[in-house]
Amino acid sequence: MKPIIKEITTAQLKQDIPNFRVGDGVKVHIKVREGDKERIQLFAGIVIARKGHGIHEAFTVRRISYGEGVEKVFPLHSPNVAKIEIDRQSEPMRARLYYLRGRKGKAAMAIREVRADKRTAR
């Protein structure tokens, strides 16, 4: 990357991002603008992918809403993403969890949880 572009984008990177991985259950707090008002909306689900690096990094969160699978892609360093909370940690065996798209019911959210003794090591 060119030094001038790197310098400009470094100033826009967020520093308060938690260390989450693919397979973790997260709550993403999103700023929503409605007219002249602004509020925070929650989107909770499982991270199925992380892509990119630097200012261009994004992650995909999937949840089941009224029986339908809903996915949203969030830019990690976006000013519209107010906060990211980690609900639960897991041990995925893959880098992307796209196979969850073909599952139904409880199986669509079933990922192996991190054991209590490994949770502190992370």
Residues near 87 by beta carbon (within 8 Å), at least 6 away in sequence: 24, 25, 26, 27, 44
Residue of 21 and 6 predicted with greater confidence = 21
Task: pLDDT band for 78, please (50, 70, 90 cuts).
Answer: very high
What confidence score (pLDDT) does residue 18 get? 94
**Using an 8 Å Cβ cutoff, are 86 and 39 in contact?**
no
Check pLDDT > 90 for residue 93. no
Residue 119 has pLDDT above 80, yes or no: no
At 81 the pLDDT is 96
Dist CA 97 CA 56 (whole Å): 20
The secondary structure of 3-29, three-state, reads HHHHHHHHCCCCCCCCCCCCCCEEEEE
Give the pLDDT score at 120.
55
Complete domains list, the chain, with CATH:
3-119 (2.30.30.790)
Q: For all residues of the chain together, what is the average pLDDT?
A: 89
Q: How many residues does the chain have?
A: 122
Looking at residue 118, its pLDDT comes to 62
